[in-house]
C-alpha cells in the first residue's frame, strides 16, 4: 500500500511540473513574440535605409532619418547596426541574396537570353518607379574611396555578381544567335551595366524617359 506522504509528494511534484511546463511554454511564446517584433523592426529599418540609400546615396541620410520614419529612437537602430557601415554593408549583402534568388527564378522559368536581360532592365524601371533612382551598387560610387572597407567589399561583390550574371546571359544569347557583337562578353557586360547605372543617375534629374531611352538602345 502506497504511503500517504508519498502520494501527497507525488501529487505536488506533478502539479509543480505542470506549472513549470506551463511557465516554460509561456516563456517560449514570449520569446517568439519578441523575436518576431525584432525581425519586423529590422526589416523596416532595412526598408527605409534602402530607400534613402538609393535616393540620396551613402552620405545623404542618417539614422535620424530612419528613426523618424519608424517613430523610434536612434539608439534602437544602433542595437541592430552599431555603425552606419554595418547597416549599408548588410543592405548590399541583402541585395546580393535577392539577386541570386531572382536569377534562380529566371533560370527556372526557362526564358531566353533576351528575356533574361529584359528582366534586368524591367527591374531597373520598377525600382525607379518606386522612387529608388539609383541602383544599389551605384548608390555608393560617388563616395567609394572614403567608404569603410566592409561597405567597399560588399559593393564590389555585388557588382561582380551582376557582371557575372550579365556576362553569362550575353554569352548564351551570342551562342544562340539572339545577340550579335564583336567585342568580348566581359567587355559588353561592362558596357551594359555601366550604361544602365549611368542612366539611372541621369534619370533622377531628367526623368523616367531618359532611363527608358537608355534601355531601348541596349
Q: What CATH number has the domain bearing residue 70?
A: 1.10.357.10
Q: How many domains does the chain have?
A: 1
Note the pLDDT tens digit of each residue in 110-120: 889 999 999 88
Mean pLDDT taken over the chain = 84
pLDDT of residue 149: 95
pTM strictly above 0.95: no
Asked if the model's pLDDT at residue 173 lies above 60, the reply is yes
177 CB neighbour count, 10 Å cutoff: 8
103 neighbors 165 (Cβ within 8 angstroms): yes
Q: What is the extent of the structural domain holding 79?
A: 4-217
DSSP SS3 for 147: coil
Amino acid at each position: 500500500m502506497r504511503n500517504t506522504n508519498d502520494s501527497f509528494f507525488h501529487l505536488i511534484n506533478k502539479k509543480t511540473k505542470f506549472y513549470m511546463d506551463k511557465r516554460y511554454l509561456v516563456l517560449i511564446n514570449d520569446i517568439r513574440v519578441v523575436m518576431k517584433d525584432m525581425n519586423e523592426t529590422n526589416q523596416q529599418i532595412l526598408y527605409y535605409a534602402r530607400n534613402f540609400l538609393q535616393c540620396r546615396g551613402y552620405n545623404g541620410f542618417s539614422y535620424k532619418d530612419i528613426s523618424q520614419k519608424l517613430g523610434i529612437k536612434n539608439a534602437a537602430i544602433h542595437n541592430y547596426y552599431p555603425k552606419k557601415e554595418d547597416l549599408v554593408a548588410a543592405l548590399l549583402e541583402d541585395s546580393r541574396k535577392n539577386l541570386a534568388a531572382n536569377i534562380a527564378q529566371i533560370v527556372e522559368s526557362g526564358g531566353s537570353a533576351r528575356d533574361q536581360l529584359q528582366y534586368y532592365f524591367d527591374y531597373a524601371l520598377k525600382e525607379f518607379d518606386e522612387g529608388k533612382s539609383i541602383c544599389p551598387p551605384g548608390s555608393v560610387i560617388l563616395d567609394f574611396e572614403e567608404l569603410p572597407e566592409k561597405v567597399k567589399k560588399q559593393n564590389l561583390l555585388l557588382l561582380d555578381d551582376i557582371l557575372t550574371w550579365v556576362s553569362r546571359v550575353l554569352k548564351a544569347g551570342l551562342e544562340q544567335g539572339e545577340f550579335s557583337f564583336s567585342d568580348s562578353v566581359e567587355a559588353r557586360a561592362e558596357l551594359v551595366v555601366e550604361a544602365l547605372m549611368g542612366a539611372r543617375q541621369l534619370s533622377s534629374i531628367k526623368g523616367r524617359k531618359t532611363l527608358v531611352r537608355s534601355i531601348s538602345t541596349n
